């Protein structure tokens, strides 16, 4: 019964992959076979390493913030909110940012950070915290924080929903027995709840890393990769190689290398964070 569905998914995934691999081995103009020349050309471009560095900085900001904030919110609601209606309200509020299209999120964020008419600068000036407008999107020291805050706002609720669902699987009798024995809140989390959340932590980490590598919409709307190459993440760089410079061979080579890198990263994460509980 599953064969038609799995077969369709296999074809849909495999065909673009084979197409990308084939394109990466051919010249952009003429389509002649060039072997690994596109891969070598991609690795020799210094802008690639700038993009990788920007992607690393972006991931270093959003991943810890989203995981810690989502986990903290899940623990707070799980332990302190017992009303089903309040939990439902929190669930609905957490779902809203996820379902908003990233393009719309980028437009809304631009209304907040843009100079001249940005809401954030207006509120800061009303509060007397700043005298002049801050160009959030055109300064190197604030542009990355601005685009990162948008990602944190939209995807922290996803982390919360995943961890909150995981906390519901913890046996209540284990929690009650630990509390009778005088266990602290940290002991309850580290010894009882965390083992149940470990597989979900792996899933969240991998999904969010994959999303960081393909994030495009709101960054393109807010900064376009600037100022300079400060927010030119790997996805923005791939877009420019393919659609600005029309070098489809090098872009395909980069896409294949990203896929291989993600596969190796997933293998490493699964080894460092085993699925089984202690």
Tens-digit pLDDT profile for residues 196-212: 898 888 889 888 988 99
Task: Mark 183-197 as b/e (b = at least 16 C-beta within 10 Å).
Answer: beeeebbeebbbebb
Q: How confident is the model at residue 277 (pLDDT cuts 50, 70, 90)?
A: very low
pLDDT at 54: 94
Structure tokens that stand for 155 in this block = 């995807």
Task: Give the domains, in start order, of the chain with CATH numbers.
Answer: 60-224 (1.10.3720.10)
Q: How confident is the model at residue 93 (pLDDT cuts 50, 70, 90)?
A: very high
Percentage above 70 pLDDT, the chain: 97
Which of 98, 34, 47, 5 minimizes the C-alpha distance to 252? Answer: 34
* pLDDT tens digits along 161-175: 999 999 999 988 888
Do residues 95 and 161 make contact, with C-beta atoms less than 8 angstroms apart?
yes
Tell if the pTM clears 0.85, that is, is over it.
yes
In the predicted model, is pLDDT for residue 67 greater than 90?
yes
């Amino acid at each position: 019964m599953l064969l038609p569905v799995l077969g369709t998914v296999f074809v849909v995934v495999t065909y673009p992959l084979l197409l990308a691999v084939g394109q990466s081995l051919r010249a952009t103009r003429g389509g002649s076979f060039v072997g690994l020349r596109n891969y070598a050309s991609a690795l020799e471009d210094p802008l690639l390493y700038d993009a990788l560095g920007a992607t690393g900085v972006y991931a270093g900001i959003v991943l810890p913030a989203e995981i810690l904030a989502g986990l903290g919110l899940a623990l707070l609601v799980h332990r302190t909110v017992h009303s089903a209606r309040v939990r439902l309200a929190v669930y609905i509020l957490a779902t809203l940012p996820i379902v908003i299209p990233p393009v719309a999120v980028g437009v809304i964020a631009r209304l907040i950070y843009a100079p001249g008419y940005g809401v954030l600068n207006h509120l800061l000036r009303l509060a007397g915290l700043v005298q002049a407008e801050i160009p959030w999107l055109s300064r190197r020291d604030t542009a990355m924080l601005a685009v990162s805050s948008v990602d944190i706002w939209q995807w922290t609720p996803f982390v919360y929903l995943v961890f909150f669902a995981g906390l519901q699987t913890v046996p209540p009798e284990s929690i009650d027995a630990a509390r009778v024995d005088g266990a602290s809140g940290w002991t309850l989390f580290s010894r009882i709840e965390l083992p149940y959340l470990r597989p979900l932590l792996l899933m969240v980490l991998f999904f969010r890393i994959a999303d960081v590598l393909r994030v495009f919409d709101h960054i393109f709307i807010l900064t376009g990769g600037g100022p300079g190459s400060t927010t030119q993440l790997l996805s923005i760089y791939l877009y420019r190689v393919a659609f600005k410079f029309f070098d489809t061979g090098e872009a395909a080579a980069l896409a294949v290398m990203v896929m291989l890198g993600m596969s190796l990263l997933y293998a490493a994460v699964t080894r460092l964070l085993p699925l089984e509980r202690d």
